Amino acid sequence: MRTLDAQQQRRVAFAVDDLEWRRWANIHISTRQGVGFLEFNQVQTKAAFDLIAAGLSARGFQTARDIMRLEGHLSDLMNNTEEYSEKRYWITLMGEPSTTEPWGWQLDGHHLIVNFFVLDDQVVMTPVFMGSEPPQATITMGSCFPAMLWCLMQAYRSAR
């Protein structure tokens, strides 16, 4: 929150019991709330990724980043940056980060939804959706089948 300007802070903050928790959608044309990575500067981007990494396991964070990168690849394949992009993900904060009061955050975008609720030393992370598109890709090593995100990422990294 400290890295955001006053206008961004107003847009990112919701009450902990706000219905925003329920306003998420996997489809890429949904209206998103909060502040998006498209408008983050480098410091804000790092802070957002630090928040996400603190909540997810190392593997979960890598999967989330890979999904975001695949959206960038999809925008290149579709020649459509208006609907797809590595940066078309939004962060919202519910409540204020605290060690005693309930609070949480939401990451919302195409193929990647994470709802993370904290109360004292307890965490609830649901609903969560992690997907990818395209679901199949052919590379020189052979064919990748649906849900083989690792194989898709190898193809993406090879092409870079």
- pLDDT by residue (tens digit) across 122-154? 999 999 999 876 654 444 444 444 444 555 555
pLDDT of residue 95 exceeding 50, the answer is yes
Computed from CA positions of residues 93, 127, 68, 72, in that sequence, does the dihedral angle turn out positive or negative? Answer: negative
For residue 117, being part of any structural domain is answered with: yes
Q: Please check whether residue 136 lies inside any domain of the structure.
A: no
Within a domain: 113: yes
Question: Is 83 within the bounds of a domain?
Answer: yes
74 in any annotated domain: yes
pLDDT class for 73, splitting at 50, 70, 90?
confident
d(Cα 32, Cα 73) in Å, to the nearest integer? Answer: 21
Beta bridge partners of 89: 109
Q: Is residue 14 part of a domain?
A: yes
Residue 89 lies in a domain: yes
Count of Cβ atoms closer than 10 Å to residue 152 Cβ: 24
Q: Is the pTM of this model over 0.85?
A: no
Query: Is residue 105, in this structure, part of any structural domain at all?
Result: yes
Instruction: Determine the average pLDDT of the residues in 54-75.
Output: 90
What mean pLDDT is predicted for residues 66-84? Answer: 85
Predicted pLDDT of residue 148? 45
Domain count for the chain: 1
CA–CA gap between residue 123 and residue 114 (Å, rounded): 12
What mean pLDDT is predicted for residues 7-30?
88
Which domain does 121 fall in, by range? 6-131
Q: Check pLDDT > 50 for residue 20.
A: yes
